[in-house]
Structures are given as C-alpha cells and as structure tokens.
Amino acid sequence: MKKIQLLLLFVFSFVIGSFAQGFVKEKQVIKSTILNKEVHYSIFLPSDYYTSERAYPVTYLLHGYGDADDGWIQFGEVNRLADDAIKAGKIPPMIIVTPDGFTSFYINTADGKLNYEDFFIKELIPHIEKTYKVKAERKYRGIAGLSMGGYGALMYALKYPNLFAASAPLSAAVWTDNDIINLDENMFNGLFGNSMGKNLKGKDRLTPAWLSNSPLAIIEKKTKEELSSIKYWIDCGDDDFLTIGNAQLHIALTTKNVPHEFRMRDGAHNWTYWRTGIIDALAFIGDSFHQK
C-alpha cells in the first residue's frame, strides 16, 4: 500500500511539475494533400493550456535554411525562453507553432513541384486552429522567423495581410535585384534553383517568379495604406551578410512612410543573435494581440 501511495505521489508531482512550465509537443504530423506528404511540426503550449478553458493567440515561428521544425527548440531554446517570458509578463500566453519548411523558402516553386505556400495557408493554419485551442482571428495571429524563415514571415505578411496582425522577421533573407544578378552561380542554383529556375545568369534571374517573391519588389508596388495594415519588427545583426538587404527593407518602408520597428544590433548570422532577439520579437507580436 505504501509503495502505491509513493508511486501516486510521484506521478502527481510529475504532472504538477509539468504544468508549471510550458509544454513542447515535438514531431506532430499533418498529412498534406497539397504536398502529397506528411509534414512535421513542433508546438509550444502555455503552462495552463490543459487546465484553462480559454483560447490562445498563436505565433507561427519559421526556421532557417537547413534546419527543421525542432530547430527553434533545440538551438533557439524558444520553449524555455518563451516560458520564462510568459511568467515574467513580458509576452502574453501564446501558442507557438514551428513547422518543417524544408528548404522551400516557404513559397511555391516555379515548377509547381513543391507548393509550400499553398500548404501553409490552406492546410497548416486551418489544421492548427481545428486541433488546438486557438483564437482563430487575424488580430490574434502573428508570424516570425529567422533567415529563410524571416523571409517567409515577411512574405506571408506582405501577401496575406488579412491573415496576420504582426510579422517579426529576424535576419530575413532579403536580397536586392543586384544581389541576385551577381550571386555566385552555385549559390544561386543551390538556394533558388528549385523555386526560381536553375542555371539562370545575370538579369535573366529576374523572372516573374523572382519579382513576385521579392519583398522589395512587392513593397514598391503596394500603397502605404496596404502596407500599414501589418505591424513589422525587423531585426538584423550589424555583422550579418544580410545586413544590406534588411537595411534596404527598412529604407523601402521608410520611403513609403510605413510604421515599423527596425533594429540593427551587435551580432552576426547565428543562434546567439537569434536567441537574444526572439523574446523582443515575440513581445512585439504579443503587444499586437492586446486590445487597445
């Protein structure tokens, strides 16, 4: 009898301890009809998720090139950082979803073989809002990411302002047309061959696929009013190889008098930089969730 009581006490203590911090459910799966494959995602749930009857705002957090859905947890420690920030009142309780974006740049490929953008908008978001206790409204939906994921967070905000309240790209993979024209051939084919077309050189790289997926080109065509419906937090290190593209992004928005936050901190293109910036980014998104 005493052994049973001790066992029950252990189980009870474990459960209570688990509820004291946020949960991370890694390697959840959605079967995608659009991609014709299973897609993994990790999800962070606030500590009171299973004991509360409330619904939560959600932030989609996108990983960088070469990582997977668990990158933000394994290297970015976002579960620990977010949990601490929620307890400290720096960010509101929120669900954080990190889907596997492969090396898709989160857009549809020019050849139509990997329509990740369609998957994200038409399948992933509805799946999350059906499966979890999510406030399924634009004003409670944010998006963030690093590098390739920063590009994705930026692109989705620019293309789907009706879906997101705020976007926080960190070290976003933003290139100018000249960057693309002069990019090393192997790097161009490796990064953009599938999404834009392989073995293109010079100005031939400025295809309709590129121009329709260039943040700078999209901003140039949109009005101030269209762009201002989203709140933007742009953050890039001063030693990052993407500094110029992010500075150009800041200039493009400033030229059109679009309100946004621009940060250029000391740092490079690495996890040290992103770990020290993610909570400020989530706080910015979280502030957009609050009723004014």
- Reported as a single tens digit per residue, the pLDDT across 108-146 is 988 888 999 999 999 999 999 999 999 999 999 999 999
Phi, psi of 20 (to 5 degrees): -75, -10
d(CA 87, CA 48): 11
d(CA 31, CA 35): 9
| Listed range (55-69, 184-198, 247-261) with the worst mean pLDDT | 184-198
d(CA 52, CA 49): 6
Q: How far apart are the first and last CA of the chain?
A: 56
Convert the pLDDT of each residue in 36-61 to its tens digit.
999 999 999 999 999 999 999 999 99
Report DSSP state, residue 34: T
- Of 89, 230, 219, give the one whose Cα is nearest residue 168: 230
Tokens describing residue 161: 């302002």
Mean pLDDT of 262-271: 98
Would you place residue 288 in the very low, low, confident or very high pLDDT band (cuts 50, 70, 90)?
Answer: very high
- φ/ψ region of 56 (left if φ > 0, alpha if ψ in -120 to 50, else beta) reads beta
Q: What is the pLDDT of residue 1?
A: 54
Is there a contact between 282 and 94 (Cβ–Cβ < 8 Å)? yes
Is there a contact between 41 and 99 (Cβ–Cβ < 8 Å)? yes
Question: Quick count: other Cβ atoms within 10 Å of Cβ 204?
Answer: 10
Mean pLDDT of 62-86: 96
Mean pLDDT of 179-186: 89
pTM greater than 0.85: yes
Q: Is the pLDDT of residue 3 over 60?
A: no
Q: Is the pLDDT of residue 6 over 50?
A: no
d(CA 158, CA 150): 12
| Listed range (5-9, 179-183, 191-195) with the worst mean pLDDT | 5-9
* Residues across the chain: 292
Mean pLDDT of 216-233: 97
Mapping DSSP to helix (H, G, I), strand (E, B) and coil, where does residue 1 land? coil
Q: What is the pLDDT of residue 112?
A: 86
- Of 135, 160, 164, give the one whose Cα is nearest residue 288: 164
Would you place residue 289 in the very low, low, confident or very high pLDDT band (cuts 50, 70, 90)?
Answer: very high
Q: What is the pLDDT of residue 193?
A: 77
CATH 3.30.930.10 fits 22-175+214-289, yes or no: no
Convert the pLDDT of each residue in 226-254 to its tens digit.
999 999 999 999 999 999 999 999 999 99
Is there a contact between 94 and 56 (Cβ–Cβ < 8 Å)? yes
Phi, psi of 160 (to 5 degrees): -130, 60
Tokens describing residue 111: 């050849």
Question: Quick count: other Cβ atoms within 10 Å of Cβ 5?
Answer: 9
Q: What is the pLDDT of residue 19?
A: 44
Convert the pLDDT of each residue in 82-96 to its tens digit.
999 999 999 999 999
Instruction: Count Cβ atoms within 10 A of the Cβ of residue 138 and give its class: 0-12 exposed, 13-18 middle, 19 or more buried.
Output: middle
Mean pLDDT of 249-275: 98
